[in-house]
């Protein structure tokens, strides 16, 4: 494994899930540095779980997933930084294949394979796939298991703080980061052999809200790209919209998926529209109205 790797796990008020996630990481992360970033929990339980697990801990009083990820980036000591989620379990042996592509100097990021707990992962011999076009950021992978060359992610300003869970535009911060890595001339590698399992399922109302948040995020992302790199912005927007319409048609017969996809489309157009009023600097939205700080209950 080339160089030290930092694994960052962002969390908020989900101590039980965090404890399980850290148990899986302890068995799989080897000699990596593990850093828990507390994204504004209301009490001290998150810190206690991190300390009991023997991992590093840092807190952001201001909530927001991208804000937490950027705090992890600031504190990471590793040459490579890996992000996973508190409602996921990494598979044994996930880390070595995930960071192996960084042996090639042109690689700026890599992603693993996300599977659902209700569908256990089948063994795969699918080879790693190298991506190079900016629009491939839409297909690079999932934020539940992604890795970056730390110096490159820092040079790009980290994650867009206005995008992602906990913000008005509740998604697409991972795709935006991958697209910016690609746009800067680096490649992204998809690694099917690095696997993470998603353990948390949502009911129908949560599923609909989740899809609308994703739509808001990717709509805002496309709106930003239309202003910062018009050609790539047009390509990204056309690809997102075309895929969304196709998914809606294919899922029309099932009420749950039809409503979810309709919520995604509503969110997309709303995000595209609302993003116009937000200042942009160096490829990132300027966070003019960050969330209010959260005090820890004592």
pLDDT of residue 2: 47
191 token code pair: 């690694």
- Burial letters for 117-137: b for 16+ Cβ neighbours within 10 Å, e otherwise? eeeeeeeeeeeeeebeebbbb
The two structure tokens encoding residue 150? 């730390």
The whole-number pLDDT of residue 122 equals: 62
Q: What tokens appear for 237 in the block? A: 């927007």
Q: How many helices (H) and strands (E) are present in the chain, helices listed first?
A: 9, 11
* Nearest-5° Cα angle at 85, 81 to 90: 80
Spatial CA neighbour of 112 closest among 194, 189, 173 = 194
How far is residue 156's CA from residue 286's CA, in Å, rounded to a whole number?
Answer: 14
The residues, ordered by sequence, that sit 6+ positions from 185 with a Cβ below 8 Å of its Cβ are none
- Phi-psi bin for 172: left (phi > 0), alpha (psi -120 to 50), beta? left
CA separation for the pair 264, 105 (Å, rounded): 37
Question: What pLDDT is recorded for position 133?
Answer: 97
Q: Which residues of the chain have pLDDT under 70?
A: 1-3, 119-124, 200-205, 298
Q: Where are the beta strands (DSSP E) in 28-157?
A: 33-39, 56-60, 80-85, 88-90, 107-116, 129-131, 145-149
What's the pLDDT at 29? 87
User: What pLDDT is recorded for position 126?
Assistant: 85
**pLDDT at site 253:** 86
């Amino acid at each position: 494994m080339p160089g030290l790797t930092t694994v960052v796990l962002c969390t908020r008020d989900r101590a039980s899930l965090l404890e399980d996630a850290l148990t899986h990481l302890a068995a799989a992360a080897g000699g990596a540095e593990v850093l828990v970033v507390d994204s504004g929990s209301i009490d001290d339980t998150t810190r206690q779980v991190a300390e009991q697990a023997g991992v590093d801990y840092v807190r952001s009083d201001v909530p927001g997933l991208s804000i937490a990820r950027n705090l992890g980036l600031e504190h990471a000591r590793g040459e490579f930084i890996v992000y996973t989620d508190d409602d996921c379990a990494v598979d044994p042996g996930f880390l070595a294949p995930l960071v192996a592509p960084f042996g090639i100097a042109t690689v700026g990021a890599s992603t693993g394979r996300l599977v659902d707990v209700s569908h256990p992962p089948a063994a795969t011999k699918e080879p790693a796939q190298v991506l190079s076009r900016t629009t491939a950021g839409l297909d690079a992978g999932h934020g539940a298991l992604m890795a970056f060359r730390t110096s490159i992610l820092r040079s790009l300003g980290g994650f867009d703080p206005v995008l992602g869970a906990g913000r008005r535009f509740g998604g697409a911060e991972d795709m935006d980061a991958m697209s910016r890595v690609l746009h800067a001339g680096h490649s992204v590698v998809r690694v099917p052999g690095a696997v993470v399992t998603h353990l948390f399922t949502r009911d129908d109302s949560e599923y609909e809200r989740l899809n609308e948040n994703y739509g808001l995020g990717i709509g805002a992302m496309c709106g930003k790209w239309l202003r910062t790199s018009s050609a790539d912005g047009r390509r990204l927007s056309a690809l997102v919209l075309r895929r969304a319409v196709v998914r809606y048609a294919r899922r029309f017969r099932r009420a749950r998926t039809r409503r979810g996809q309709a919520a995604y489309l509503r969110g997309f157009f709303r995000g595209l529209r609302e993003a116009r009023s937000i200042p942009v600097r160096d490829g990132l939205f300027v966070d003019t109205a960050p969330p209010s700080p959260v005090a820890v209950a004592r």
